[in-house]
Amino acid sequence: MAAFRALVFAALLAGIAAGLATSAVQAARLWPLIDAAELLESHGNDGHVHGPAGWSPHGALRPALTVLFNMAAGIGFALMLNAAARLRELRSGVGLTVGEGVGWGAAGFAAFALAPALGLPPALPGMAEGALLARQIWWVATAGCTLGGIAMLAWAGGAWRGVGVALMALPHLAGAPVAGHGGAVPGDLAAAFVAGSLAASAVFWVVLGGVSGWVQQRWA
């Protein structure tokens, strides 16, 4: 029971810290880009103002919901990271340290942000995208294959490492869903959003892993 409490406490603290840190980066680098893209989308390519496509939060509610979502996502991913680290500890007797936590966070960034972004870069409102279901399937497959490949590279030996590399390359060889044509977002705005999104994801995962390792060390 004590180990379970430690796992949940570490996940809560790491998730909240990661969510707050990510929100700070998003507020500085991403939210202004989203506002600019939405303004372009609302005017459309014909220069006329179009009505909103549906309800969206306004005012202080929008950043508040974003911060809450970031913390909720952080807690969810932190539970998975700390559970995996606990299973490793039960098997090898080696607990999670701050340095190892950062390494685990880097693996999470590679699997859940960097690898999917190679085929499906983060998109602003108004950018042309492919079919939603196809993009979701490709994203999940890419994240799973990358995570499995990293695990093989880290813990397996011999030919299994080659299998791990092939597994990580498989979704990219198959190809991501092709986006549609058009869109009202300029290329420089889209590129800035991709860079900012990856930076925010890197902060998210590094803080998530580092705080998890720190809390587990302190609890031990």
Spans of all domains in the chain:
2-49+60-123+187-219, 130-178
pLDDT tens figures, 12-43 = 999 999 999 999 999 999 999 998 888 887 76
Give which of 72, 65, 66 is closest to 14, Cα–Cα.
72
Q: In this prediction, what percent of the chain has a pLDDT beyond 90? A: 57
- d(Cα 210, Cα 125) in Å, to the nearest integer? 32
pLDDT tens figures, 172-198 = 999 888 765 556 678 888 899 999 999
* Arithmetic mean of pLDDT, 112-133: 87
- d(Cα 18, Cα 91) in Å, to the nearest integer? 28
- d(Cα 198, Cα 117) in Å, to the nearest integer? 8
**Average pLDDT of the chain, as a whole number:** 87
pLDDT of residue 48: 47
Q: When comparing pLDDT for 60 and 104, which is higher?
A: 104
SS3 state at 183: strand
pLDDT tens figures, 37-62 = 888 877 664 444 444 445 566 677 88
